[in-house]
Structure 1
C-alpha cells in the first residue's frame, strides 16, 4: 500500500514539474515576442523640395508613408515648397526635432551641402533621394548615400539618343526646362544639348518654367508663334509635356513633331501609350523609395552601405509601356 502511495505521489510531482516547465516555456516565448514588438522605430525627416508643387516629391512621400507599415520607421515631412534657402533651414529643423536620419530631395546641390554637412557632423545621416548629385567629393561628409535613377545626365543621354536617332541633321528643336541654374535642370539638359549640337540639330530656344506646367503651356504657345519650323520638343518633365502637347494640338502642329520627356509618371505613360510622345526616361520611383528606406535602416544598424545606389532610368516607348508601372 505504501509503495502504491509513493508511486502516485511521484507521478503527481512529475506532472506538476512538467506543467511548470511548459508554463515557463510559454512565458519565455511571450517575452521574446514582446522584445520583437518593441523594436526601435527610427524617425526619418523627409526634407522635400516641393511636395505641394511637383508630383515626384509628393509621390515619394506617399511611398514613404506606405513603407511605415512594412519597416520600423516614422516619417516626418518638411516641405521646402521650391525654396532652396528654406530647404537648408528645414534640414536644421529635422535635426532639432530629433530625427535619426534625413531623406532629402535637393532643390540644388550647392545650396544644401552646408546644412547636410552640419547634419552629418551632428550624427544625423543624410540620404539623397532624387537626381541631383551632391558630388562624389561630399560622399561621407554631406551625405551617406545617393539612391535614385542616377544623375540627370543619365536621363539626358536617353533623350539625346532618341533625338539623334529620329531627327535628321538640320532639324530644329526647342527645350522647356525646370528651374534655370539648378543642378537638376542643368544635368537634364547637358548631354541632350551636346548630342544635338554634335549631330547638327539646331536648338532654337531654351526657356525655364520653375517646373510650372502652366508656364510650359505659355512658353510653347510663344514658340509656335515665333518659330515656323519646330521638329522636336524636349520638355524636362512629363506634366510639362502635357501642356506642350496641348499647345501643339491647338495650333495644328502636333502630328510630325517629335516629343520626349523625363520622369515616368502616369501622364508621361499616357502620352507614350497614345503615340503623342515618343519616350519618357522613367524613374522606378517605388523601388527607389524602398531601397532608400532599407539603406537607411542598414546604415543605422551599423552596416556599411554604398555611396551611390542606382536603379537606372528606363526608356519607356510604345513598345514597352505596358511592361512597367508609372508613379
Structure 2
C-alpha cells in the first residue's frame, strides 16, 4: 500500500471517529429535576445545567416542578425513566423518596447523578455538592467570633435531609465548642416557619444572640421578624446560599453574612459527570465544592 493511501485512510478513520463521537453527544437525552423552579438557588443550578448541556451538544429535559413536592419529583424521575432518557440528574426535595425509582433506573442501565443533596442508594454514581459541613463550620466560626455569649438559634431544613443536617451540624458543632447553647428547630425550608419560629423564640428566649438559617430566604424571614420586634441590631443573623437578595441585605447592614454556594459550577459539573458516565468514562463519586463566607467586607465582590 502506498504511503499516501495509508495517510488518506487514517485521516478518514479519524474524521469518522470524531463525527461518531459528536453524533453520540448530540443524540444523548438527559433529564434534570431540581428542588423547584421558584427558588433562586435552584434557578441558577438549572440554568448552568442547561448551558453545559447545550455546550456539549446534549438535549436536557427539565422536569422540575414549580414548587417543592417530593411526590411530584419522584413521578418526574419515573417519567424520565419511562421516556428512555440516557441519564438523570436529581436535586432532591426528599432524598429518601427514590428507592423504587432508582431500582428501576439501575435495571434499565440509566445512570443517575445527585446534585446538592446526597441520596442513599447504590445506583447514585456521582454526587456534586457543596461541602456543607465544612461550609457551615465556617459560618459557625464567624458567628462565635461575632457574639459574646448567649444562645444560637438554628432554623433547619426537613427532618433527615442530608444537606440540612450537615449545615445544622457545622454551626452547632462550632457554637457548642465555644460554649454556647444551641436551639435547633426544623422548618422544612419554609420561610413562613422561619419567620414564626424567630418571632416565638426571640420573645421567649432573651438570651438569643445569633440566628443561623440553613437556607437564605429563611435568613431574610428571620431578619424581618427581628426587625419587627426591634431586636435586629442585637442579633447576628447568617444565611446559606449567597442569593442576590441576601447580598442586598448584607449591604444594608441587616443580615450579617451568608455562605455562597457555587450553584453554576454545581449544575455544570453534574451534567459533565453524567455525560461521562453515559460514555463509560470514570468520573468522581464525589465532587465537593467550597463554600464562601460573604460579609459586609467582601459583599461588593459578589454582586
TM-score by length of 2: 0.84
Alpha-carbon separation, structure 1, partners of 2:86 and 2:71: 22
Matched, 1:174 2:153: yes
Q: Look up the match of 2:177.
A: 198
CA distance in 1, matches of 2:104, 2:21: 34
Q: Say whether the 8 Å CA contact 2:81–2:105 is kept in structure 1.
A: yes
* Deviation, structure 1 residue 34: 8.2
How far the C-alpha of 1:39 sits from its partner, in A, is 5.4
- For the 8 Å contact 2:52–2:272, the answer to whether it is kept is no
TM-score by length of 1: 0.78
Look at both structures and tell me which one has the larger radius of gyration over its CA atoms.
1
Residue number among 43, 46, 50 corresponding to 1:61 in the alignment: 46
Deviates more, 1:239-248 or 1:62-71: 62-71
Aligned to 2:216: 238
Alignment root-mean-square deviation, CA? 2.5
Work out the CA distance in 1 between the residues paired with 2:151 and 2:50: 44
2:6 is aligned to none
Q: Distance in 1 between matches of 2:105 and 2:40?
A: 27
Any gaps of 5 or more consecutive residues in structure 1?
A: 1-27
- Tell me how far apart the structure 1 counterparts of residues 287 and 190 of structure 2 sit (CA, whole Å): 29
5 Å-filtered alignment, 1:60-209, equals 60-79=45-64, 81-130=67-116, 132-135=117-120, 138=121, 141-150=122-131, 152-169=132-149, 171-203=150-182, 205-209=183-187
| Per-residue CA distance 1:190-215 (angstroms, 9 max, x = gap) | 13212222222122x33232222223
Distance 1:229 1:116, change over 3 A: same
Question: Are residues 102 and 249 of structure 1, via their aligned partners in 2, closer, same or farther at CA, if it must alter by over 3 Å?
Answer: same
1:307 deviates by 0.6
Q: 1:44 aligns with which of 30, 35, 45?
A: 30
